[in-house]
Amino acid sequence: MAEVLSKTSLLPSWHHHQYHQNNQSSISVFPKSCNYNKSRSFSCSLKLSPEISSPSLSTTSDFHGKNIAFQATSITSSQPHASSAVNSQQSGRRIGKALKWWEKGNQPNMKEVVSAEDLVESLSNAGDKLVIVDFFSPGCGGCKALHPKICQLAEMTPDVQFLQVNYEEHKSMCYSLNVHVLPFFRFYRGAHGRLCSFSCTNATIKKFRDALAKHKPERCSLGPTKGLEEKELLALATNKDLSFTYTPKPTEDVPAKEEVIVAEETPPRLPLPSATSKSAQVVTAWR
């Protein structure tokens, strides 16, 4: 009797399924026939709906070895653009990252130096191009006030290379280069090496403009690019805080010039008067 009740309990589920068939149910099962025989056993056969499409998930039921197919349904989000919104927010955080004041307004011809070797190579590879080394500090108020004008001048002179040296990150290197005041600038060009060096502020920007106008015109320098001076390179190489090596260039032996000593002619000396002649003159004058 318990088996009969378990079988008959499926009938309400069939009607419930037919009621929700229009609501896109994931299971389509229709009764074919139900028989109650004299042996008091209840048997049913099931007919599967042909509307079930693959891929489908099938399980084996106990209804005479028939298979019931369950249609795999996909759950769609009520917000189709949720993932794109999250990606845009993440990218917005990266794009909206606040720039530091010495990074604002930088031009393509402005480069921040990362090491002593980078500074030496940048000067050596510049050729005849004018290079301006800008020493600054993030905590320097004068450097911060002057930075926008330096960026404007860099935009007006794209053929000039600007190198930025952060004093706080390269204190030991600046000490070896004898930089002790900020903001500080040094001009380099070709075989001439260092042209000038000075410190200026927003109030004395004319000093920078005058130096730029003086050394900006194109010119050709004879010989290889000099860059830093020999004593500066040696100071960087002997600094234990820096990983910089430098081999001094061999000096050429210059033959010593032969000194020719010319004997100076001494003027002839006049003969000294003798004592007898003096006494004779004195006597003559007395007489």
Catalytic residues: 140, 143
Q: State how far the Cα of 143 lies from the Cα of 141, in Å rounded to an integer.
A: 5
Q: 136 near 148, Cβ under 8 Å?
A: no
What are the structure tokens assigned to 231, written together? 């004593």
Q: Is 116 helix (H, G, I), strand (E, B) or coil?
A: helix
- Measured distance CA(78)–CA(76) in Å, rounded: 6
Check: CB of residue 7 under 8 Å from CB of residue 1. Answer: no
What is the CA angle 235-207-195, rounded to 5? Answer: 40
> Which is nearest to 135 in space by CA: 203, 183, 196, 199?
183
Structure tokens at 115: 């090491």
Between strands 130-136 and 110-112, the pairing is unpaired
Please, are residues 217 and 171 in contact by the beta-carbon 8 Å criterion?
A: no
Tokens of 31: 């009764």
Number of H helices and E strands in the chain, helices first, is 9, 9
Give 134's strand partners: 164, 185
CA–CA separation, 285 and 281 (whole Å): 6
Contact 11, 29 (CB under 8 A): no
Burial of 51 (0-12, 13-18, 19+ CB in 10 A): exposed
